Amino acid sequence: MIYRNALIILSISAVPLSAWAGDCKQLPTAAALAAHLAAAPTHGGEAGGLFHGTLMWAAVVNRDGEVCAAVTSTSDPTQVWPGSQAIAKAKAYTANAFSLDGLALSTARLYTFTQPGHSLWSLGQSNLSDPDEQVAPDAKSKTRIAAGLIFFGGGVPLYAAGQVIGGLGISGDTSCTDHEIAKRVRDLADMNPPGGMLVDDISYSGSDGASVFTHPLCLNTWRNGALIGEEAPAVGY
């Protein structure tokens, strides 16, 4: 029986990775992503943050984690934080990497799990980003594995016909505003999870009570068109 089970395990393991491969066909093109990104700041009310969601990098990866599109919300990409390119790609990779058909897990919902003393502390060391994957702001995106893990707001999984097919990452403002724009872009693209647009929404301790999914407030924090509050000032230093 043990020998037979071993054969079964080996036969399953021998399934080529290409059998599970994703592609970019069902995901937004760069042009569509840019259009959704431009519409997102006014899709559902105030987005908050420093720039109200108007200065953003957006990246989309397929189920294999390959970058399918990466764009900025401005005609001059150098006027969006250069560091946000890598962050957007990592958020897209993270949301895709830890979501399933039956579990939509935004990067915002991973925040508490990955803090020191919690059960997923050091998860960020498991899939490190490669600097060679980044490109000049006005260059064409590479179609390679994005990698890198981010555990604050701005990454959401993408769905088609009830199945997760990739991830979307947004960066360029506060992490709270990044999440607002990400879920709006996903909604505009009609790629929400089976549970709807808000099934993996950001949760704040100040208004929702403490939980394992809690995310800190940011500067000028808005959620779904309602003002939530402000990040607490530093104390003790």
pLDDT band at 124 (very low <50, low <70, confident <90, very high): low
**Look-up of token digits 């006027």:** 79
- CA–CA separation, 78 vs 138, rounded Å? 8
> Is the predicted pLDDT of residue 130 greater than 70, yes or no?
no
Instruction: Tokens for 173, please give them.
Output: 């403002």
Higher pLDDT, 151 or 226: 226
Instruction: Tokens for 149, please give them.
Output: 């893990």
**Look-up of token digits 């592609």:** 23
**Model pLDDT, residue 46:** 97
pLDDT band at 68 (very low <50, low <70, confident <90, very high): very high
**Model pLDDT, residue 206:** 72
Instruction: Tokens for 82, please give them.
Output: 């250069």
**Model pLDDT, residue 152:** 94
**Look-up of token digits 């599970």:** 20
For the chain, domains (ranges, CATH) are 23-229 (3.30.450.150)
Mean pLDDT of 62-73: 94
Mean pLDDT of 88-112: 94
Highest mean pLDDT among 103-117, 156-170, 208-222: 156-170
**Model pLDDT, residue 112:** 80
pLDDT band at 20 (very low <50, low <70, confident <90, very high): very low
Average pLDDT, the chain: 84
Mean pLDDT of 67-91: 94
Mean pLDDT of 198-224: 90
pLDDT band at 104 (very low <50, low <70, confident <90, very high): very high
For 7, 176, 181, 228, the CA distances from 222, given in Å and listed in that order, are: 54, 8, 11, 5
**Model pLDDT, residue 21:** 47
**Model pLDDT, residue 173:** 98
- Mapped onto helix, strand or coil, the DSSP state of residue 28 is coil
pLDDT band at 133 (very low <50, low <70, confident <90, very high): low
**Model pLDDT, residue 140:** 52
